[in-house]
Amino acid sequence: MLSVVPTPITVRVPAKVNLHLSVGDTREDGYHELVTVFQALSMTDEVTVHIADEPGIEVRGEGADSVPTGPSNLAWKAVRALAERCGRDPDEPGVRVSINKGIPVAGGMAGGSADAAAALLALNHLWRLEMGRDELAGIAADIGSDVPFALQGGTALGTGRGEQLIPVLARHTFHWVIALDRRGLETPGVFSELDRLREESRPNRVGEVEPVLEALASGDPRQLALLLGNDLQAAAVSLRPGLRRTLRAGVQAGALAGIVSGSGPTCAFLCTDADAAVRVAAELSGAGVCRTVRVAQGPVPGARLVTDDRAD
C-alpha cells in the first residue's frame, strides 16, 4: 500500500529582550511574580520537525554543543506535552526535531523557550491537529514562562510568571545591538542571587511599567532608553561582574542605553536608528568586552511557518 509521509515542517522563532522586568515576591510554587515588557527581536532559531523511526533531537548552529539533546530540552518537552494532549505515546512520538540555533544559548533571550514554541507550532501542522493559538499558548505556559511569548511575538506586557500576555502597541521599529558573553548564566541561579541580594540589602527596583508603554506607543527610542530597567540586572552583574564593563562600553560606543537581557548575560543596547546600531556594533566589537556582537530589530512576529510562509 502506498503511504504518504508528510513533508517536514520548519518554523522560525524569535529571541526576546525584556525592556522592563519588575521582579516581585516569591510565590508558593517557587516562581517570582513578574511585570515585564517583552519585545521579540530579529535573531531567530529554525526548528524542523519530521516523521522518523528514530525519535530524538539534534542541534546545530551557534552554541549547539552546550544544548542538551535529552529529555531536558524544552523543544523535546513540547513534543511530549503535545503528544500527550492528543493521545499519542509521549515516549515514542515518532518525530525528529532539528534545531538550528541563531539565538544565544543560556543568554537571557529565551532561546530554549523559543525552540519549544516552534516545536509546538510545527507539530500542530505536521500532525494536522488544527489547534488554535490560544490552545497552543495554554500548553506553552506549562512548558516554561517565556514560551507563550515566543509564540506570540511582537511587544507584550507579561504578568504572572511572565506567561500571561497582553499585546502592546509599539510604533516604529527599534534598533538594538546585542553583546553576547563568552559563557551563559542559568536562570534559576540568577533569580536566587536576586533573592540573596534582597536579603542582604535593598537593590534598586525598576519603576512603574506605564511610562514604558507610553514610550513604546510614541515610538521615540530616546524616551524609551530612559525607561529601560531590569530587576535581574543587579543579580546578573553580581554573578558576572564583567558585565558592568560591557554595559559601559556600549553606551561609550554611542548607544542610548544598555540593559542586561532577562537573566543575562547577554546585554542589549538601544540605538537611535539602524545606522547608529551598525556604528555602535562595530565599535563595541573592537572594545574586547564580549564574545561577539549582533545587530537586531524589534518588534518582529512570533513563531511562524517558513515552509510556505503561512501566518499560523
Nearer to ligand C5P, 119 or 270 (CB): 119
Q: 120: which 3 cell numbers? A: 509546538
Name which of residues 187 to 246 contact ligand C5P (CB under 6 A): 187-188, 191
Segment near ligand C5P (CB under 6 A), from 31-39, 41-49, 220-228, 267-275? 31-39
Q: Taking the complex as a whole, how short is the minimal distance between the CB of residue 43 and ligand C5P, in angstroms? A: 18
Nearer to ligand C5P, 114 or 284 (CB): 114
Q: Taking the complex as a whole, how short is the minimal distance between the CB of residue 8 and ligand C5P, in angstroms? A: 27
Give the residue, chosen from 11, 21, 34, 35, that forms a contact with ligand C5P under the rule CB under 6 A.
34
Q: What angle do CA 235, 239, 242 make, to 5 degrees?
A: 110
Q: Taking the complex as a whole, how short is the minimal distance between the CB of residue 250 and ligand C5P, in angstroms? A: 25
Please say whether the beta carbons of 107 and 261 come within 8 A.
yes
Give the residue, chosen from 145, 246, 261, 266, that forms a contact with ligand C5P under the rule CB under 6 A.
145
Give DSSP secondary structure letters for 183-252: S---HHHHHHHHHHHHHHS-------SHHHHHHHHHT-HHHHHTT-EETTHHHHHHH-TTHHHHHHHHHH
Partnered with residue 157 across adjacent β-strands are 37, 166
Amino acid at 280: V
Is 146 a residue that touches ligand C5P (CB under 6 A)? yes
Give the separation between CA 132 and CA 99, rounded to whole angstroms. Answer: 23
Helix axes 274-286, 243-252, angle to 10 degrees: 130
Q: Taking the complex as a whole, how short is the minimal distance between the CB of residue 31 and ligand C5P, in angstroms? A: 4
Q: Which run of H or of E encompasses 40? A: strand 32-51
Name which of residues 169 to 198 contact ligand C5P (CB under 6 A): 187-188, 191
Site string for ligand C5P, 6-25 (x = CB under 6 A): --------------------
Give the separation between CA 165 and CA 146, rounded to whole angstroms. Answer: 10
Q: 21: which 3 cell numbers? A: 522586568
Q: Which of 115, 146, 181, 231 is catalytic?
A: 146
Is 77 a residue that touches ligand C5P (CB under 6 A)? no
Is 31 a residue that touches ligand C5P (CB under 6 A)? yes
Nearer to ligand C5P, 115 or 289 (CB): 115
Q: 106: which 3 cell numbers? A: 543560556
Q: Which of 16, 77, 101, 115 is catalytic?
A: 16
Is 32 a residue that touches ligand C5P (CB under 6 A)? yes
Segment near ligand C5P (CB under 6 A), from 124-132, 144-152, 211-219, 300-308? 144-152
Within 8 A by CB and 6+ apart from 121, the residues are: 11, 13, 136, 151, 303, 304, 305, 312
Nearer to ligand C5P, 74 or 276 (CB): 74
| Known catalytic residue at 220 | no
Q: Taking the complex as a whole, how short is the minimal distance between the CB of residue 259 and ligand C5P, in angstroms? A: 18
Reference 312, options 5, 11, 46; nearest CA is 11
| Known catalytic residue at 146 | yes
Q: What is the set of active-site residues?
A: 16, 146
Query: Which positions touch ligand C5P (CB under 6 A)?
Result: 31-32, 34, 144-146, 161-162, 187-188, 191
